[in-house]
């Protein structure tokens, strides 16, 4: 579904990704772990083209993104392709990023209506269904500020689902939540994994990564230091850095 080959990304002179490759096959869950500043968010944002990059390839369903220019002047060359990729990879952010002036239902309906120009009645039915699915079907008409963090994050997940994306990208979806609220979001993510959705999850929650992932990638200073299936990676880490990271995290 998503493939990244040898991606390099710098902010000015700061090299953040130094040649990273990953592939997220359809129906697989990939977790990205690593210390703060290792480039996890940047990699995720590169996947759905929220960030540019200077070198390397990005493929969506086998179709390579087309570029014009090189290095810091490199840009995607086909706006329609960018829109197609971006709308098919829905992102869920640490800070929820709900629109404060819209009700929960309006939040979920907004992008399908304005970006995809879908039929309002159909979108409303779908939006109510997704809010029901994440367990907040009774919160359609309230504003984000009236919800707990866990409920807001579940609304953000419903919003991502309502785009009917081919894959979901999560950037530390539980990091802003109190531990007791974290679990209600973890449950939703586990349900989505069990449905066979394609997901890339950046998380500090090693239990979540161990429970839902088909493949775990440990990023260190912009490079993949180690990767593998979670049962092997977590029980028998080979690199000193991953061992250190895991012992500091658990």
In this complex, which beta carbon is closest to ligand ADP, that of residue 36 or of residue 114? 36
In this complex, which beta carbon is closest to ligand ADP, that of residue 66 or of residue 97? 97
Taking CB under 5 A as the criterion, the residue among 3, 38, 41, 48 binding Mg ion is: 41
Element counts in the chain: helices (H) and strands (E): 9, 12
Q: Does 13 bind ligand ADP (CB under 6 A)?
A: no
Residues 26-55 that bind ligand ADP (CB under 6 A): 34, 36-42
Asked whether 32 and 84 are in contact (CB, 8 A), the reply is no
Q: How does 12-44 read in b/e, with b if 16+ C-beta sit within 10 Å?
A: eeeebbbebebebeeebbbbbbbbeebbbbbbb
Question: Shortest distance, CB of residue 172 to Mg ion, whole angstroms?
Answer: 6
Question: Shortest distance, CB of residue 36 to ligand ADP, whole angstroms?
Answer: 4
In this complex, which beta carbon is closest to ligand ADP, that of residue 94 or of residue 106? 94
By C-alpha distance, which of 86, 131, 74 is closest to 105? Answer: 131
Give the N- to C-terminal CA distance of the chain in Å, as an integer.
31
Asked whether 23 and 78 are in contact (CB, 8 A), the reply is no
Query: What is the Cα–Cα distance from 139 to 125, expressed in whole angstroms?
Result: 15
Query: Which stretch, 9-17, 82-90, 144-152, 184-192, contacts ligand ADP (CB under 6 A)?
Result: 9-17
Question: Shortest distance, CB of residue 227 to Mg ion, whole angstroms?
Answer: 18
Q: Does 9 bind ligand ADP (CB under 6 A)?
A: no
Query: What is the Cα–Cα distance from 107 to 101, expressed in whole angstroms?
Result: 9
Query: Which stretch, 25-33, 40-48, 98-106, 129-137, contacts Mg ion (CB under 5 A)?
Result: 40-48
Applying CB under 5 A, the residues found at the interface with Mg ion are: 41
Applying CB under 6 A, the residues found at the interface with ligand ADP are: 11, 14, 16, 34, 36-42
């Amino acid at each position: 579904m998503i493939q990244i080959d040898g991606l390099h990304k710098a902010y000015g002179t700061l090299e953040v990704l130094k040649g990273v490759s990953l592939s997220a096959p359809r129906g697989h869950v990939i977790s990205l772990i690593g210390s703060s500043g290792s480039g996890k968010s940047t990699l995720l944002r590169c996947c759905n083209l929220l960030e540019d990059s200077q070198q390397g390839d990005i493929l969506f369903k086998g179709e390579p993104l087309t570029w014009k220019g090189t290095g810091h002047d490199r840009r995607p060359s086909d706006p329609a392709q960018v829109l197609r990729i971006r709308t098919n990879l829905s992102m869920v952010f640490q800070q929820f990023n709900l629109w404060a002036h819209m009700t929960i239902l309006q939040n979920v309906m907004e992008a399908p209506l304005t970006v995809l120009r879908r039929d309002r009645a159909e979108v409303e039915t779908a939006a109510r269904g997704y809010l029901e699915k994440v367990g907040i079907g009774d919160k359609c008409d309230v504003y984000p500020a009236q919800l707990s963090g866990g409920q807001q994050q579940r609304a953000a997940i419903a919003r991502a689902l309502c785009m009917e994306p081919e894959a979901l990208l999560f950037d530390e979806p539980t990091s802003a939540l109190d531990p007791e609220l974290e679990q209600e979001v973890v449950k939703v993510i586990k349900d989505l994994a069990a449905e066979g959705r394609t997901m890339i999850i950046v998380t500090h929650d090693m239990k979540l990564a161990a429970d839902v992932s088909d493949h775990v990638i440990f990023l260190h200073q912009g490079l993949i230091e180690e990767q593998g299936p979670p049962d092997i990676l977590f029980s028998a880490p080979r690199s000193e850095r991953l061992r250190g990271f895991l012992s500091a995290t658990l």
